[in-house]
Structure 1
């Protein structure tokens, strides 16, 4: 996934700008390498987007091209390219609370949400205890800092978008998600009751994809579509942000296929009740 077109496009755009600086300075690759103290192959790899430069590489590059006024803008472009793909380690390096808070502006400016979940319920639908159990498991697996209580509070605050403004939400959940739990049976029962309640709101569409059927679309990774401007994908190794129209369309098309396999309304509630009743 790190080679997605959004990531590659951002890297190519940066490489093109760096290459143009060399031309504008009347230099070639060997000249630049000598001025920076590098092997010429490094200049070639950066110029062709095969290797992503570091911030210090950009500083040296701009200095060699007598274009230090471009340094800040190019470093900003580098950070934007890196932000397209974030490992969990980098995203959560200061704890879980910040990663929850940083997404709030995106939720606030979005009017149409589409979500697909294959392993756990989406955060907007979670109860307090379910959230705490999920985030505690994540913290124990990969985050040295323990700020779970603050992260749970931040996620609960984000749920206000469900009831504010003119927003529409469509959630697709694979049926096993109703039974997958890191919590006690009591917490899972409370969570499923909460799901039944939220499913009655007019701005929330809740679809469940039954297990027992022939599938035209296999399960994929968890993803969110925000309006038609951005897709976020949760992978084992990190968090991917996609903004290229072709990639957004690919996920929109996948969502449409998955939605066509889901049951809604009374049939969805029946599956939720079945999962709830199996807990006792």
Structure 2
């Protein structure tokens, strides 16, 4: 993990600590007194200026009488130490999806150009709340983890605020299958496709669709996300890959270029989305 992304993850952990304190109705001084710490330590941890220990996080949860969040906090801390490429979902999601979503909020906030490819589902950055809710519920059930769905959906929607930041640009490419694969009820999918249709042509947001019959220079083996030129994230079934090496980033950029050149944009993209939307008519 780069220094920037380490700090991003540490700030996400600090933000979660602050939120828990506020929910408990305590100010920093009161919490410090309960913990037997200096107030400055509470401040540093909340502001992402100091890395907590596991014992610090256990003490924080205990002082707030929230033993239910201890695993979540430990999972966020484990993420800070993941310098390796392979980042286990089991460790990252120890306390549910919320913590990983908060890291996504910070990561998106520190990036000016995001490129994303998805092969079979709608990207989180442009999901509707209901679509996101169904997807996160399903993932929690699949992984057998705590379904912190409402908090995770709230964080995912907050992350989408970045779409309206004039300093940022986004380029999404979806395989046409993502318009038809339904992890959700028909009405939820219809609303999601309506949102995609309306995103086509928006300022600073490019949305391309690779049609079923497109000729490809390289097939899309899996989805991936490129953050500026510093980080590529690949979501696998059991883990995420966080790739920061120059060779890895360059290779994924080449894959991105080859795939995005097969995508359709503008009027044709709208037509493809509209066709998928029309296919839902009459389904229950």
What is the TM-score of this pair, normalised by structure 2?
Answer: 0.69
| Deviation of 1:236 (Å) | 1.4
Q: Is the 8 A contact 1:178 1:272 kept in 2?
A: yes
Q: Are residues 1:124 and 2:125 paired?
A: yes
Q: Is the 8 A contact 1:95 1:143 kept in 2?
A: no
Aligned to 2:179: 178
Q: Is the 8 A contact 1:93 1:143 kept in 2?
A: no
Aligned to 1:229: 230
C-alpha distance in structure 2 between counterparts of 1:253 and 1:260, whole Å: 11
Q: Is the 8 A contact 1:85 1:240 kept in 2?
A: yes
Aligned residues: 204
Give the alignment of 1:1-280 within 5 angstroms.
Answer: 79-82=81-84, 84-280=85-281
> Which entry has the higher C-alpha Rg, 1 or 2?
1
Task: Structure 2 unaligned segments of length 5 or more: list them.
Answer: 2-77
C-alpha distance in structure 2 between counterparts of 1:79 and 1:113, whole Å: 24
SS at match of 1:81: coil
| CA offsets 1:28-81 (integer angstroms, 9 cap, x no match) | xxxxxxxxxxxxxxxxxxxxxxxxxxxxxxxxxxxxxxxxxxxxxxxx9x9343
SS at match of 1:132: helix
SS at match of 1:261: coil
Q: Segments of 4+ in structure 1 off by > 4 A?
A: none
C-alpha distance in structure 1 between counterparts of 2:112 and 2:220, whole Å: 26
What is the TM-score of this pair, normalised by structure 1?
Answer: 0.70
> CA-atom RMSD, angstroms?
1.6
| CA offsets 1:93-152 (integer angstroms, 9 cap, x no match) | 111101100122210111111000012111011001000000010011114212111111
Task: Structure 1 unaligned segments of length 5 or more: list them.
Answer: 1-5, 7-75
C-alpha distance in structure 1 between counterparts of 2:94 and 2:254, whole Å: 34
SS at match of 1:247: helix
Q: Is the 8 A contact 1:133 1:183 kept in 2?
A: yes
| Deviation of 1:90 (Å) | 1.0
